[in-house]
Amino acid sequence: MLGLMMQSQLTLTGIMRHAQNNFPGREIVSITADNDRHRYRYTEAFARAGQLANALQRVGARAGDRIGTLAWNDYRHFEIYYATSCSGLVCHTINPRLFAEQIVYIVNHADDRWLFIDPAFVPLLESVADQLTSVLGIVILTDEAHMPATKLPNVHCYETLLSGEHTDFEWPELDENAPAALCYTSGTTGNPKGVLFSHRAMVLHTYGVLLPDAFALQQGEAVLPVVPMFHVNAWSLPYAAPVMGAKLVLPGPKMGCGETLCTLIREENVNVAAGVPTVWLALLKYLRETDLQIPSLNRVIVGGAACPWSIMEEFEERHNVYTHHAWGMTEMSPLGTYNGRVPGGLAAEESKRLRLKQGRAVYGVEMRIVREDGVELPRDGIAYGALQVRGPWICERYFKADDTALTEDGWFDTGDVATIDADGYLGITDRTKDVIKSGGEWISSIELENLAVAMEGVQEAAVIGIAHEKWDERPLLLVVPIPGVQLNPQEVLAKFHGKVARWWIPDGCLIVDEIPHTATGKISKKDLRAQLADFHWPQLEPA
């Protein structure tokens, strides 16, 4: 026996209809390469999405075809989101910051049929065009007046492509499990892997991010996604804002510019903004220098990396802005946890301790931590293990993979090591591959690094596990001193005493001039391990 309710499908097309019916007059405001401040209403956005869907149908795009984008956050990218997904195509957002060879790999692996690119990325694409195996044509996201000269084959102008088309499009009735979007993880090892999001996952994720203890967008609010639309659908804000009738403010190529962010917030009365810590450093620096205020902003959503307390403090004390930690990953659409407002009445230290955690699982996501043998660990805030998740917006397998990405009992292993406390708060401790396995126990490289960086004279620090005859692995600390400072390895190590368990203290310390970084600026432990492949601990004394 089954329930007797309508089998309405959960699709992004439903979001489009909801916005058209309820918030036709709300605005999308953009900065683009060809317009310092473009503004129009949701009705116009969806009318143009209809034109684009007609154009794509006319050029032969068929259900399931991947349409690639290399574009910043603006209204044309928004139109592509809906025109593709809602007409049965797959919106494949590509990160233009990747190495050229990764972009080639991704476009070919995805079999992208068409690419929609910002004019700024024409040189990048020209450099790799002859290696692309599936692309039929390239559409430049601008009007005729701003079309760049290019040697790219089969190039179209976006505005010209749309101009001849009807705004009415017969949006198909899609299955909720139909694919809507594709995004590749920029994994630190191996080739990028694609996550193929279904309509169902996107809709449920949108409900999840909108919960009152998560993004909680409201009708009449204005939201500024500083997280790129090529980065897991800008954390779903292009879906969430139309659902609630919030104004979307899209900064185009000016994401990292403190002045632009400040101007947009002030002039568009932005209430909520979302992005990685770096962009908030840029904004806060600009605000300090100019002494400008941003009174409309009341909350900032920070993800992608742990937010330093100094950012949270400055936002709150100088600007009355509450900073929320969010945690997730491409494979999770991306939202896994959110740190809503911590309960009132807590002591300052306890409040800070909670706010620096990654928050609680958003309803829809389940989490557990397990030992290496798969046994679940207690939710006590102390035990830490491999963090595994499951839920309707979590990846089951990667695009074109033959095998599931899940454990035997159906959980996705995040690659993170974490604690979960009795109230569900998640604390990320380390990456599984970076944690140091010593005598059957785990040592967090991140915690040791944080302690080292806080020491006087230390500019940067990294901890990696080095194979050890007796303990399996032992931690080795690498320290870059602040220029001009002389550090003594033994004195550095001595400073760990009293701050961590004795057996956590690294067995060695190397003073180095620099530590290798990845393309995105993180410490590259992979390169570090390669550099130290020949490092050995001194031989144990015979017993």
- Using CB under 8 A as the criterion, what x/- string covers residues 150-179 for binding a copy of itself? -------------------------x-xxx
What are 472's two structure tokens?
A: 């399996």
Residue from 56, 394, 443, 464 that binds a copy of itself (CB under 8 A)? Answer: 394
Confirm or reject binding of residue 391 to a copy of itself (CB under 8 A). yes
The nearest distance, CB 360 to a copy of itself, in angstroms, is 5
Of 208-267, binders to a copy of itself (CB under 8 A) are 208, 210-213, 216-220, 243-244
| Whole-angstrom distance, CA of residue 429 vs CA of residue 224 | 30
Task: Tell which residue, 283, 363, 285, 274, has the closest CA to residue 323.
Answer: 274
What are 437's two structure tokens?
A: 């396995």
- Using CB under 8 A as the criterion, what x/- string covers residues 299-338 for binding a copy of itself? ----------------------------------x-----
The nearest distance, CB 57 to a copy of itself, in angstroms, is 18
As a whole number of Å, the end-to-end CA separation of the chain is 70
The nearest distance, CB 366 to a copy of itself, in angstroms, is 7
Is residue 437 annotated as a catalytic residue, yes or no? yes
Of 419-448, binders to a copy of itself (CB under 8 A) are 422-424
The nearest distance, CB 171 to a copy of itself, in angstroms, is 13
Is residue 331 annotated as a catalytic residue, yes or no? yes
Residue from 47, 201, 452, 505 that binds a copy of itself (CB under 8 A)? Answer: 201
The nearest distance, CB 398 to a copy of itself, in angstroms, is 7
| Whole-angstrom distance, CA of residue 82 vs CA of residue 88 | 10
Q: How many residues bind a copy of itself (CB under 8 A)?
A: 74
Confirm or reject binding of residue 64 to a copy of itself (CB under 8 A). yes
* Strand pairing report for 90-93 and 179-185: parallel
Confirm or reject binding of residue 75 to a copy of itself (CB under 8 A). no
Is residue 185 annotated as a catalytic residue, yes or no? yes
Distance of CA 489 to the CA centre of its chain: 37
Q: Which stretch binds a copy of itself (CB under 8 A): 20-28, 135-143, 462-470, 487-495?
A: 20-28
Strand partners, 368: 388
What are 75's two structure tokens?
A: 């209204």
| Whole-angstrom distance, CA of residue 6 vs CA of residue 445 | 51
Is residue 69 annotated as a catalytic residue, yes or no? no
Q: 310 CB contacts (<8 Å, ≥6 apart)?
A: none
| Whole-angstrom distance, CA of residue 295 vs CA of residue 30 | 21
Exactly one of 235, 411, 442, 471 is catalytic; name it: 442
What are 24's two structure tokens?
A: 């036709």
Residue from 51, 73, 84, 198 that binds a copy of itself (CB under 8 A)? Answer: 198
* Strand pairing report for 412-420 and 114-117: unpaired
Exactly one of 331, 419, 429, 504 is catalytic; name it: 331
Query: What are the backbone angles phi and psi of residue 520, rounded to the nearest 5°?
Result: -95, 10
Q: Which stretch binds a copy of itself (CB under 8 A): 101-109, 390-398, 432-440, 481-489?
A: 390-398
Using alpha carbons only, give the angle 102, 106, 109 rounded to the nearest 5 degrees.
Answer: 135
- Using CB under 8 A as the criterion, what x/- string covers residues 116-155 for binding a copy of itself? ----------------------------------------
Confirm or reject binding of residue 412 to a copy of itself (CB under 8 A). yes
Q: 240 CB contacts (<8 Å, ≥6 apart)?
A: 206, 209, 210, 215, 217, 223, 246
Strand partners, 497: 500
**What is the residue type of 135?**
V
The nearest distance, CB 71 to a copy of itself, in angstroms, is 22
The catalytic residues are 185, 331, 437, 442
